[in-house]
Amino acid sequence: MTSERSDVTGGRGTGPLIVTEDVELLDDLLRLCAAAGAEPQVHHSVPERAECWDDAPMVLVGDDAAARCRGATRRRGVMLVGRDQDDPDVWRRAVEIGADCVLRLPDAESWLVDRIADAAEGVGRQALTVGVIGGRGGAGASTLACALAVTAARTGRRTMLIDGDPLGGGLDVLLGGEQTEGRRWPDFAASKGRVAGGALEESLPRLHELRVLSWDRGDSVVIQPEAMRSVLAAARRGGGVVVVDLPRRVDEAVAEALAQLDLGLLVVPAELRAVAAARRVASTVSMVLQDLRAVVRGPYAAGLDERWIADALRLPLVGELPLEAGLSQDQDGGAPPGSRARGPLAAFCTAFWERALAADGSVTS
């Protein structure tokens, strides 16, 4: 291993500090860092600059370098890495350098990629994740999902909008950005394992100060449960808020999405048939999602009000989704739901976020 190689992979990268002279082990660790989207620092022994050791998000010490790291400052996040499965002295060396754990490749590769990616992304508070589901077809769930995302983004909060309904026509259309370049669901349909949060966010279309993952105009694509799990987990790691527009039919992929929600909003038109349909949807969704709440949309059928409907569904009531005059004309002109900052729909969404974020303890963007 030459000094030039250390210079190329060194510097103040976003990934771990690697300490080894074992060329084969280094090749393995560099490959895992690349898979995690991290740029490591590489040294033969403990760096002369103490901050390189102290400030690195994690330290991967090769078996060959353990003796050279004995006098290093004790810190969290040190891992002893090697390939010898039967080394009887490995735990002694780990204790001597204060390692948190001992890793053996290739068995620990998948786990280590996840930890490297966590360190590179600086995992902190996860995003407050809200799902929106229609109690029946045409209930207005997609409109509310877009309005919630647009309203959150307008405050400067990091916002992602995920279109989980392949038959909904595409939320990018509702946002007026169907021609905007960026990746869509078909690009992620077969994803397995970890998806890097930063890479996901940067790859998506940016519309109205938020990132949106929608569908393209091609043939229907089946999203595997693993892909839904990986993409939503990546979206949540960046903090802020994530809004997910979901279909009424709960398949395995939708169940994966429901499992990652902090709360769900069931949009119910104020009609008896809609309430009956919404009750079946609520029964299915509640098998996965514990916190499901009702949003009622008028006009009201005779004898109905929002409290009666919420009680009939046995769900907490968020409130009445207001009508907004000119909403269709706004959308025809490219203005998404919630874009009128002083409109009734934006006011409803603002009030919802204030309550939800306060309850969640999220006070920063």
Mean pLDDT by 10 residues, the chain (365 residues): 36 77 96 88 94 94 96 93 89 94 93 84 81 95 96 96 90 90 90 80 94 88 90 90 96 94 97 96 95 95 93 96 85 84 94 92 54
Contact 152, 353 (CB under 8 A): yes
pLDDT of residue 126: 85
User: CA-to-CA distance for 91 and 103, rounded, in angstroms?
Assistant: 11
Contact 105, 82 (CB under 8 A): yes
pLDDT of residue 326: 83
Helix, strand, or coil here: 103? strand
What's the number of CA atoms in the CB half-sphere (13 Å) around residue 122?
A: 7
pLDDT of residue 350: 96
pLDDT of residue 123: 61
Give DSSP secondary structure letters for 221-272. -PPPHHHHHHHHHHHHHT-SEEEEEE-SS--HHHHHHHHT-SEEEEEEESSH
Q: List, for residues 210-242, the tens digit of each pLDDT value.
A: 999 999 887 778 889 999 998 998 899 889 999
Q: The whole model's pTM is what?
A: 0.75
pLDDT of residue 19: 97
pLDDT of residue 10: 40
pLDDT of residue 11: 42
